[in-house]
Amino acid sequence: MQLLEYVFDGVSVQPVEGYKIDPEVSPNLVFFPGKLSISAEVGIDLLAEEPKYSDYGVSLALKVGPKADEQAPYEVHVTAKGLVRMHLVQAEGQAEERRVRAMVNGVSLLYGAVRDQVMTITSRSVHGPFLLPSVSFADLALPKPALTTRKSAAKRGKKVSKAPI
């Protein structure tokens, strides 16, 4: 698999007002991830399918900030899109497996680019450099539980939410 290109749709890195460096945590680069609220939305689309490769568009929307009652140096909101190519001939019946591998690995590559961009921006920012923690997107490969329909869930009094991609 190869990341052919990527772009940032939006990048916002705002210093958190009143942030005080915690002497228990190294102020250099790495910030303790347990104090961070991190959320990500991902997406994937098949763009082209050729005999020797498949191209997928992947997207990542990332939000990082302090957890409630915690401190973090920055509020980060980044959206990025990329084009990934899965090489080799697709075997019969493996389309879903290839899509999942493209999503997990493509989003991981985008996250690396986002991580670098945030580090570059914060290297000259008021609270100093901020390296986002390492994140695994392997859970995206896990089977999704079947969603109940809104009507049947409403009859049982359950709340239904949309599953992430």
Give residue limits of the domains in the chain: 2-156
pLDDT in tens, 52-110: 889 999 999 999 998 888 888 999 999 999 999 998 756 666 778 888 899 999 999 99
pTM across the whole model: 0.80
Say which residue the tokens 């939006």 belong to: 10
CATH architecture, domain 2-156: Roll (3.10)
* Structure tokens that stand for 159 in this block: 């709340």
The mean pLDDT value for 134-153 works out to: 66
Average pLDDT, the chain: 82
Max Cα distance, the chain (Å): 57
3-class secondary structure, 139 = helix
With tokens 């089977």, the residue in question is 143
What is the spatial distance between Cα 158 and Cα 152, in angstroms, rounded to a whole number? Answer: 9
